[in-house]
């Protein structure tokens, strides 16, 4: 049985919801799945604006925004639910949620303070609304469907906005509640992202938390696979906006996915799927606009990796723009110990996070995000040595498990980059990535040349796919 998670763009409009419904119905032919939904795209952001407006006593604005949330969902009901009786009943459910939202707005406005606890309650309405409509539409279309309030299952600590599940309790709840419903052949539709404390206060797992919900539920059931439905063709060989012939990667290991997302690629955040990977449950990243394509499977399971001709030297190229290099140089570093520790102490004190490092005996270069506030840090570093800054650079990382065991990769990378001014080079300790820094203006050229070098057809036949049937 599968856990199917749909992100906001895959259910954000009536036509997107219809596509998602067909995908779920197709899956049900094999076995009734557990469906985990995000809020419709844009709704969580809207609810956050509502919360902030209420907390600031901008009551009229909060009510107006709440009206927009209401309208969006009423329109969905209008299009998706055909039967008059049912439509009336679903509209009433929508009105009940919006009524609760409006009461919360007024409460927060009167108290004059937005607490972490009420903030999470504000955020929870998006998922409650999307799942209510989806589940009713599925039911109407004749697919036995049960709506489940996940707050009865996903019991968390009280770290509002980044709550963590009480695992043993949740697992028990999943086995007692969700599992029997699924085994009886029901599609179960439930909310991602939200949970509840033991004493019934609504919590959230943090922005983008629906993927985490799906992985956790999949691990507790356990499910055979987890499908993350988005609006892109799985994980790509690189950003298609930079290289138009970027392709979707068929299979990648968990380490590769993790490394890529740390390095700036828009992949699932690895922590969110860790519960599934730990149990060897494959995670598919799929496109609800092209459900027939295979997407990407992330797994460490050797049988799946083998079966999908796992290989290829480079798996993907990640780019992180908006970086800046700090070059530090001091002759006093020569033969001294403790100097690096002092430098990094200053970064720690200033709260500036270091991304890439490269050193020699008397100098060290580091990249940091351009948005970091560097003034105080630079004053302190200048007391220890010479410092200069190179703004507007980007880190480019070439990632692949097989880099570890291959010769000549560096040569190929750097010959592909012969026309580019490389500002810094570093090979990660994981040995599955080679990273370097280029000037902002050179990013496109550098990435295109690299993509051409490593993803030409002879290089990758059978490993990267243009669209293909998933279940053939
Ligand atoms: N709706 C939530 C958010 O926008 C959770 C999610 O989409 O995963 O952050
Ligand atoms: Mg998301």
Give 73 Cα–ligand 2 centroid separation in angstroms: 19
Give 410 Cα–ligand 2 centroid separation in angstroms: 35
Q: Can the peptide bond before residue 150 be classed as cis, meaning omega within 30 degrees of 0? A: no
Tens-digit pLDDT string for the chain (472 aa): 999 999 999 999 999 999 999 999 999 999 999 999 999 999 999 999 999 999 999 999 999 999 999 999 999 999 999 999 999 999 999 999 999 999 999 999 999 999 999 999 999 999 999 999 999 999 999 999 999 999 999 999 999 999 999 999 999 999 999 999 999 999 999 999 999 999 999 999 999 999 999 999 999 999 999 999 998 888 888 888 888 888 888 898 888 888 888 777 777 777 888 899 889 999 999 999 999 888 899 998 888 888 777 667 888 899 999 999 999 998 887 777 888 899 999 999 999 999 999 988 889 999 999 998 999 999 999 999 999 999 999 999 998 888 887 888 888 999 999 999 999 998 877 788 899 999 999 999 999 999 999 987 655 555 555 444 443 3
Give 207 Cα–ligand 1 centroid separation in angstroms: 5
Nearest ligand 1 atom to alpha carbon 207? 9
Nearest-angstrom CA–CA distance, 6 and 221? 18
- Best mutation site among 4, 210, 215, 285 for ligand 1 pocket (most ligand atoms within 8 Å of CB): 210
Nearest ligand 1 atom to alpha carbon 213? 8
Q: Which ligand is nearest to the CA of 212?
A: 1
Domains in the chain, start-ordered, CATH in brackets?
Answer: 2-231 (3.40.1160.10), 316-460 (3.30.2130.10)
Nearest ligand 1 atom to alpha carbon 205? 5
Q: What is the DSSP letter of 290?
A: S
Give 8 Cα–ligand 2 centroid separation in angstroms: 7
Q: Which ligand is nearest to the CA of 210?
A: 1
Nearest ligand 1 atom to alpha carbon 211? 8
In sequence order, the 6+-apart residues with CB closer than 8 A to the CB of 34 are: 1, 2, 3, 4, 178, 182, 187, 188, 190, 217, 218, 221, 223
Nearest ligand 1 atom to alpha carbon 8? 7
Based on the number of CB atoms within 10 Å of its own CB, is 166 exposed (0-12), middle (13-18) or buried (19 or more)?
middle
- Best mutation site among 4, 191, 195, 207 for ligand 1 pocket (most ligand atoms within 8 Å of CB): 207
Give 155 Cα–ligand 1 centroid separation in angstroms: 18
In sequence order, the 6+-apart residues with CB closer than 8 A to the CB of 389 are: 324, 325, 326, 327, 374, 378
Nearest-angstrom CA–CA distance, 457 and 464? 9
Nearest-angstrom CA–CA distance, 186 and 177? 12
Q: Which ligand is nearest to the CA of 37?
A: 1
Nearest ligand 1 atom to alpha carbon 126? 1
pTM, full prediction = 0.86
List pocket residues of ligand 1, CB cut-off 6 Å.
Answer: 7-8, 38-39, 44, 126, 192-193, 207-210
């Amino acid at each position: 049985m599968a856990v199917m998670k749909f992100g906001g763009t895959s259910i954000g409009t009536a036509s997107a919801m219809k596509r998602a419904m067909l995908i779920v119905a197709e899956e049900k032919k094999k076995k009734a799945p557990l469906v985990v939904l995000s809020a419709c795209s844009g709704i969580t952001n809207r609810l956050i604006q509502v919360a902030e407006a209420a907390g600031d006593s901008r009551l009229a604005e909060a009510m107006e925004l709440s009206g927009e949330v209401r309208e969006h969902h009423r329109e969905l009901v209008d299009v998706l639910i055909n039967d008059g009786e049912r439509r009336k009943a679903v509209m009433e459910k929508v009105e009940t949620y919006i009524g609760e939202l409006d009461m919360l707005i007024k409460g927060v406005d009167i108290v004059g303070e937005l607490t972490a606890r009420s903030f999470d309650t504000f955020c929870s309405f998006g998922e409650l609304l999307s799942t209510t409509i989806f589940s009713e539409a599925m039911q109407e279309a004749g697919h036995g469907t049960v709506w489940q309030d996940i707050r009865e299952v996903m019991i968390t600590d009280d770290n509002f906005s980044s709550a963590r599940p009480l695992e043993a309790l949740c697992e028990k709840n999943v086995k007692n509640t969700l599992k029997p419903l699924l085994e009886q052949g029901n599609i179960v539709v439930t909310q991602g992202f939200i949970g509840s404390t033991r004493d019934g206060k609504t919590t959230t797992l943090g922005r983008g938390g629906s993927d985490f919900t799906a992985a956790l539920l999949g691990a507790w059931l356990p499910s055979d696979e987890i499908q993350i439905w988005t609006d892109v063709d799985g994980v790509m060989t690189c950003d298609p906006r930079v290289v138009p012939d970027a392709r979707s990667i068929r299979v990648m290991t968990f380490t590769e996915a993790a490394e890529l997302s740390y390095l700036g690629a828009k992949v699932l955040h690895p922590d969110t799927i860790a519960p599934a990977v730990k149990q060897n449950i494959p995670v598919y990243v799929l496109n609800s606009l092209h459900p027939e394509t295979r997407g990407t499977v992330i797994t460490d399971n050797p049988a799946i990796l083998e079966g999908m001709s796992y290989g290829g030297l480079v798996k993907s190229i990640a780019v992180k723009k908006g970086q800046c290099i700090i070059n530090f140089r001091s002759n006093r570093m020569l033969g001294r110990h403790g100097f690096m520790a002092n430098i990094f102490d200053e970064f720690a004190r200033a709260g500036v996070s270091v991304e890439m490092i490269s050193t020699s005996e008397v100098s060290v270069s580091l990249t940091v995000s351009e948005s970091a506030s560097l003034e105080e840090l630079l004053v302190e570093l200048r007391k220890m040595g010479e410092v200069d800054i190179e703004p507007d650079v980007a880190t480019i990382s070439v990632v692949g498990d097989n880099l570890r065991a291959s010769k000549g990769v560096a040569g190929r990378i750097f010959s592909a980059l012969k026309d580019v001014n490389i500002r810094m080079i570093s090979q990660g300790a994981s040995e599955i990535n080679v990273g370097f820094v280029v000037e902002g203006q050179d990013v496109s050229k550098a990435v295109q040349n690299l993509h051409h070098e490593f993803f030409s057809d002879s290089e990758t036949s059978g490993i990267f796919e243009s669209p293909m049937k998933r279940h053939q």
